[in-house]
Structure 1
Amino acid sequence: MNTSGTIRVVVVDDHNLFREGLKEVLGTDRDIQIVGEGGSGPEAVELVVAHEPDVLLLDVEMPGAGVTETIRQVLHQCRDVQIIVLTMHDDAELVREVLEAGASAYMLKTILRDELLAAVRSVRRPSANILLAVSRGTVEQLDRRPPGSGGPGTALTQREREVLVLAAGALSNQQIASRLHIAEATVKRHLTNAYAKLNAVSRVDAIRKAVARRIISDGQRLSR
């Protein structure tokens, strides 16, 4: 446990320029010490185990198992670390996912320098409070949980189901992204989360299991 009074931080983001910017901002506070940096989910886990930081700044879309699984793995190894998720996605479903996984804060990358520093200082003092820096519309959606949804690792979110239905229709990730007006990386994230919840090892396996559990209908699967 860190008793020095210094806030020890690990920064994980696969964009080098953004990561350098975070380090520069955090470096202006004499009470904050960067003890590690990386660019993937597995690196986040390794760095937390190696350095036992107070705070982990974590990007959403990086190589690895997906942000929610990364959060769970990190907290399994070091339950006292406070995780701040930084993302460009103003997405209520994603907010739910990362908070349910155990993140302490969810903040858009458009936040100001002083907001980031304040967040790092505040999550250093664990409490029942959760920090959010998202749009008002996203906050309003947070209480509108889709029917039949459950906790982490159980039911699919509405968006995960939509993505899986389109995947069952043999659409590529790029085609699904175009159809739903989201980024292709977001499609990959939803599929990764769906695989984990269904305990599936591939797209075909996930579709079969979703049909078996009546999450999607057999008619939505492309005939082969």
Structure 2
Amino acid sequence: MSAPDEPSIRVVLADDHTLFRDGLAQLIQTDPAFQIVGQAADGDRTVQIVTALRPDILVLDVEMPGPGARAVVTGLRRTCPEVSVIVLTMHQNSRIVQELLDCGAAAYLVKNIARDQLIAALHAVYQSPRNVLLSVSRETLGGGGDPREGTPRRLSTREMEVLRLTAEAFSNSQIATRLGISEATVKRHLTNIYAKLGAVSRVDSVRKAMAAKLIHPMIDGGGGGRPRD
């Protein structure tokens, strides 16, 4: 059994820019939970390394030599379905986002996100691999309100209910019980909320909802405490 302070989340990095890849490895490993177990600079090598090492997470660039990101994600979903793929790229093309999510990517992040956001996304994908995380502009998502006003996409009544209970630190199972829906439905609503608010976690979604004045800070504590990541 591993010692408590040993890295428990194994990560492979795939990007054809060596300097960026090395910097990313150093950045991720500032969190002791993560261990970089392999690196690749092209699509073929990425598939070989992931297939051999079976990491928990693959961080994948969109543009590399060899098979494109779509082919890599599709192939790995068939051969290594337990590996969560995080796409980390400069591209904010809505078609590419949708294609890669449809292929099975667990997250689509842009390279201008902050270190804390990236680390939070890695943890979120590891802890909740069936959820989808997005960090792209509202314009990329399409139909995302008026970008001049900075307004988020409209949340449905049910999504607002889920968001408020999330802000009160209720778990997914508690939210499901309160609203009389399944836990899977709660997770789906949260995924939609993240997409509409451009959030990468529960805490991030609550912060952004407060900033947009969709919800207000709790005064009496509600469900108690801060929202769970």
TM-score past 0.5 threshold: yes
**CA RMSD after TM alignment:** 1.8
1:1-224 equivalences under 5 Å are 6-141=8-143
The alignment-based identity, stated in percent, is 45
Contact 2:37 2:55 in 1 (8 A): yes
Contact 1:59 1:86 in 2 (8 A): yes
Q: Give the length in aligned residue pairs.
A: 140
After superposition, the Cα gap between the structure-2 partners of 1:75 and 1:128, relative to the gap in structure 1 and judged at 3 Å, is closer
After superposition, the Cα gap between the structure-2 partners of 1:140 and 1:54, relative to the gap in structure 1 and judged at 3 Å, is same
- Secondary structure in 1 matching 2:119: helix
How far apart, CA to CA, are the structure 2 residues paired with 1:9 and 1:127? 14
Contact 2:7 2:34 in 1 (8 A): no
Contact 2:106 2:129 in 1 (8 A): no
CA offsets 1:89-144 (integer angstroms, 9 cap, x no match): 111000001001100000000010011111111111234421000001112259xx
How far apart, CA to CA, are the structure 2 residues paired with 1:79 and 1:91? 25
Amino acid at match of 2:106: S
Contact 1:44 1:74 in 2 (8 A): no
- Secondary structure in 2 matching 1:124: helix
Unaligned runs of at least 5 residues, structure 2? 145-229
CA offsets 1:35-93 (integer angstroms, 9 cap, x no match): 00010111111111111100000000001121101111122221010000011111100
- Secondary structure in 2 matching 1:120: helix
How far apart, CA to CA, are the structure 2 residues paired with 1:109 and 1:61? 13
Contact 2:14 2:21 in 1 (8 A): yes
Under a length normalisation based on structure 1, what TM-score does the superposition of the two structures give? Answer: 0.60
Under a length normalisation based on structure 2, what TM-score does the superposition of the two structures give? Answer: 0.58
